[in-house]
Amino acid sequence: MPLDIEPDPQTLGGPSKGLRQSTLLSRDERLAGRPNLCSDCGLCDTWLKPDMARACVFVRNRAEAIEQRLFGRNRRDGDELRFGVFQQMLAARMQQPVAGAQWSGMVTSLAARLLERGEVEAVITAGTMPGTRFAPRPMLARTPAEVLASAGNKPCLSPSLGLLGAVRDAGVRRLAVIGTGCQVHMLRAAEDKLGLERLDVIGIPCSDNVTYPDLTYFLEQVSRSPQTIVHYEFMQDYSLHMHHEDGSTERLNYIDFPMDKLEGIFPSACLSCFDYANTLADITIGYMGARLGWQWVLVRTDRGAKLLDLLREDLETTTLDSAGDRTRGVPRYIQMLAKPPGKPPKPVRRFIAWLQRNRGPRGLEFARAIIEMKMLRNLHHVRSHFRRFEPRIVPQYVYRTLAAYDDAHREAFGEGLQPPAGGQRAERQ
């Protein structure tokens, strides 16, 4: 049986208070005493709460110090600035996809293999809260079947690190954790306190996460039948694909999203997050740098290389490709951030969607474009709402990545993309 935390779906982070507010849900007592920004990663539900100021990415982003410890260096110029330090990058998928998986099920298959081979004793993963389709239920899986049953995205904030207490109580010394970028930052920052012999970190890319009630609201705004959605994903073809119980697929182009109704659903923490690609994991397994139907894999550490080897015989692999030119679109995005345009008429939207799909960035260039745009949007959010936090929570690689857009940013916002005076200095981890 999995050990698990059973948060009430209504208080699973709770509804956000909107873009201009600083906490997720001050009414939720679990969040009392937490910093203004919090993604409810679960660390503060454990004995590690006193270490929050040292571990929390929203108190101080320590990614660059952790990189030094993990990789012996920081990111090199080029793709590592956006994707993080990596040894290998490839497109892959399971030859036999896992039932209920988000893509082909590489993540849960890998964790199940670790348990099967006895390499780890337990895996922290996110199952589904009974009675819901998408609310996460953090689980400490002890068998391959338990971890495979947790396949599929629960696209909401999940307090998964809350299980670290159960890990300690159960005497687990060899652990695998499946988590988002913020969870992995806190885990790495607190790693020395966990008393583990071995820790395997399987990261999933993550952006624009929401609380469960806000997810329900989001699906109501974008779907003709929100109750029957069994799986959805933001695809590389610039549209949201929603699969329904009856086997039908509904698609909504990004350009057709009702943005006026979506203002305020993303928590401020997720809008102040700069680790889309989960860069402190041993291996990151996502999709968006690969062509449709394939998964995007970044092997970061020697341990990550061994993890990929464990799965190799079950994988098809291929190379990644890249097409289009983001450097034309990103400056236009900066102008739109500064002066949001109204929604264009339907025929114009249809034409823009066609252009995006057929002429826009594809493959790795799509991933570069999306990561740069999220960095720009989130830097703008921090500067607009939490400016005094900027020196602490925006890592230096953000400014290095965005340097090419300094002029465009200055023209649109009247200020450039340099770090503030007295910004982050390298810290030892």
Residues that bind ligand SF4 (CB under 6 A): 34-35, 38-41, 43-44, 52, 55-56, 58, 157, 180-182, 186, 206-207, 209, 269-270, 273
CA 14 – CA 213 distance, rounded (Å): 6
Partner whose footprint covers residue 104, from ligand FAD, ligand SF4, none (CB < 5 to 8 Å by kind): ligand FAD
Q: Least distance (Å) from ligand FAD to the CB of residue 101?
A: 3
Contact (CB, 8 A) for 405 and 334: yes
Q: What is the x/- site pattern for ligand FAD, positions 32-51, by CB under 6 A?
A: --------------------
In the complex with ligand FAD, the residue whose CB is nearer, 315 or 403, is 315
Residue 102 is a binding residue for ligand FAD (CB under 6 A): yes
CA distance linking residue 392 with residue 223, whole number of Å: 39
Task: Compare residues 26 and 249 and give the one whose CB is closer to ligand SF4.
Answer: 26
User: Does residue 296 belong to the site contacting ligand FAD (CB under 6 A)?
Assistant: yes
Single residue of 152, 181, 226, 324 touching ligand FAD by CB under 6 A:
152
Find the residue with minimal CB distance to ligand FAD: 286
* CB distance 235 to 249 below 8 Å: no
- Number of chain positions touching ligand FAD (CB under 6 A): 35
| Under rule CB under 6 A, residue 288 binds ligand FAD | yes
String of b and e for 87-111 (b: at least 16 CB within 10 Å)?
A: eebbbbbbeeebeebbbbbbbbbbb
Does residue 278 bind ligand FAD (CB under 6 A)? no
Q: Decide: helix, strand or coil at residue 363.
A: strand
Of 147 and 269, which has the nearer Cβ to ligand SF4? 269
Does 132 engage in binding with ligand FAD (CB under 6 A)? no
Q: Given its phi and psi angles, is residue 201 left (phi above 0), alpha (psi -120 to 50 degrees) or beta?
A: beta
Asked if 255 contacts 369 with a C-beta cutoff of 8 angstroms, the reply is: no
Least spacing, CB of residue 202 vs ligand FAD, in Å: 8
**Which residues face 253 on adjacent strands?**
239
Q: Which tokens is 171 given?
A: 């005497």
CB 142 within 8 A of CB 116: no
181 in contact with ligand FAD (CB under 6 A): no
Q: Is 215 in the site for ligand FAD (CB under 6 A)?
A: no
Asked if 108 touches ligand FAD (CB under 6 A), the answer is: yes
The two tokens of residue 265 are 């659903």
SS3 content of the chain, % helix, strand, coil (to 5): 40, 15, 40
- Do the bridges between strand 249-253 and strand 174-179 make them parallel or antiparallel, or are there none, so unpaired? unpaired
What residues line the site for ligand FAD (CB under 6 A)?
Answer: 98, 101-108, 125-126, 136, 150-156, 158, 160, 178-180, 204-207, 209, 285-288, 295-296
